[in-house]
A and B are shown apart, each in its own frame.
Chain A
Amino acid sequence: MSEEFKVEIVNPEASFLSKEDVTEVIVPAFEGEMGILKDHISIISFLKPGILTIHTKSGEHKFYVEDGIFEFKDNNLSVLTSSIFDLKKIEKSRLMNLIKVAEEEASKQEIDDQSRFLIDQKIEVLKSLN
């Protein structure tokens, strides 16, 4: 029996990635990282900044996502996100830039706890990539 399912990542401008032979996906869900295997129960949740890992037979593929939601249903995982970067392709300077923007945001006073949590998370993840 095959253990594979389908993953589709779309951003507002285009379909970012579509893969049929995925064995496991680790998503940075809001309440913690979550591994999704075939025949997972239908679920909807949203993402926090982090690393999304897709395991296929031929290896693994990592992406950095900032926000978005995902839906798993009938062995179809759809990830909707407005900011996603392929870790292999992302440049150092781009990364530094993202960190700078995030830190600027974090230094603002008037943000609520939830967004502060998200921003701190973002900085942490970005720094670990660096």
Chain B
Amino acid sequence: MASLDDLKKRITSVKSTQKITKAMKMVAAAKLKRAQESAEKGRPYSEKMNNVILNLSNGISDKETAPKLLSGTGKDKIHLCVVMTSDRGLCGGFNSNIIKKAKTYFGEILKEGKELKIITVGSKGNDQLKRQYGNKIIENISFKNSKNANYFDAEKVGGIIIEKFEKEEFDICTIFYNQFKNVITQIPQAQRIIPLNTESEDENKLEDSYEFEPDEDEILNNLLPKNISTQIFKAMLENSASEQGARMSAMDNATRNAGEMVDKLTIQYNRSRQAAITKELIEIISGAESL
């Protein structure tokens, strides 16, 4: 059995770990509030954008001439997957959930004999994927320096994707991110952004005709690249809220575990101290008796 001194050291060490996890939980909680707020504030923009695009794509009479970003290249050979993860660890299953979802998808694509290309956003995803899919990763983007998710970063990612699409480096683009549901639940999502999913959720909402100026095609050409950045921005916002939520609950658990451990160790410490005292007493008593 460990000596009294060892036990004491362990208790102190667990206690200081608990302090750290507790502090991290508080920080995450404060950040979560902000991230959640900005995720909520960002929603109207992406929703409106989506609406306008839906209306536009319904207004397009000739699907054949529609911009490629909307209708796709017509092929289904090369898949580009954008895996969005965090830059920091210690957030429970946050990153692994996305990676798991992405890996299942990768498996399917490769089984069908299609080509796979990966862009990772956030360094944690890159770390987890590079062993198995290292040769498939064509780009790794990280925003370690930006404090919050901002639109400027999203535009950068969007720009890279569009540039690659125009060079016909891929046919279908899917983004992976965690959707924030609440603090303890984050749902990993796979969302296809090229070609755009234009099936509207409620069909009966289809709008009356619009006037377009200039014509639909030109507006769409202008709008679709923006929409990609918007979707990525939305994913980034959801991701950052989810990350903080996941970290908060992970740290909460860690704090609780540390507490339990401290309790257990204290009991063990007290027992062995008592055992030592009893032992000494017995020695004294039996020494006295033998006289």
Query: What is the interface of chain A, defined by CB distance below 8 A to chain B?
Result: 8, 10-15, 29-31, 41-46, 69, 71, 73, 78, 80, 82
Contacts and interface: CB of A to CB of B under 8 A. Distances in A.
A80 B208 contact: no
B48 A80 contact: yes
Contacts of A31: 213-214
Nearest to A41: B211
B212 interface: yes
Determine chain B's interface SS by DSSP, over half rule.
helix
Nearest to A12: B151
Interface of B: 38, 41-42, 44-46, 48-49, 51-52, 55-56, 150-151, 154-155, 207-214, 219, 222-223, 226, 230, 233
A71 B48 CA distance: 9
Determine chain A's interface SS by DSSP, over half rule.
strand
Contact of A42 (B45, B209, B222, B230): B209
Given A13-B151, A14-B38, A44-B219, A78 B214 contact: no
Residue from the set B45, B207, B226 with the largest chain A CB neighbour count within 10 Å: B45
State the 3 A-B residue pairs at the shortest beta-carbon distance, nearest first: A14-B41, A12-B151, A45-B213
Contact of B219 (A69, A73, A78, A82): A69
A113 B49 CA distance: 26
B213 A43 contact: yes
Given A80-B48, A80-B49, A44 B56 contact: yes
Nearest to B212: A44
Contacts of B212: 43-45
Contacts of B214: 30-31, 45
A30 B52 contact: no
A71 B210 CA distance: 9
B7 to A, nearest CB: 52
A3 B68 CA distance: 41
Given A12-B42, A14-B38, A69-B223, A42 B208 contact: yes
A32 to B, nearest CB: 9
B210 A44 contact: yes
A43 B59 CA distance: 12
6 contacts: A12-B151, A13-B41, A43-B210, A44-B211, A69-B226, A71-B210
A15 B48 CA distance: 11
Contact of A12 (B219, B222, B230): B230
Contact of A43 (B42, B211, B222): B211
Nearest to B208: A42
Given A13-B151, A30-B213, A69 B52 contact: yes
B52 A80 contact: yes
A12 B210 contact: no
B48 A46 contact: no
Nearest to A46: B222
Contact of B41 (A15, A42, A43, A69): A15
A129 B213 CA distance: 27
Given A10-B45, A13-B41, A14-B38, 19 more contacts: A10-B44, A11-B45, A12-B151, A12-B154, A13-B38, A13-B151, A15-B44, A30-B213, A31-B213, A42-B207, A42-B210, A44-B55, A45-B219, A46-B223, A71-B55, A73-B210, A80-B49, A82-B155, A82-B226
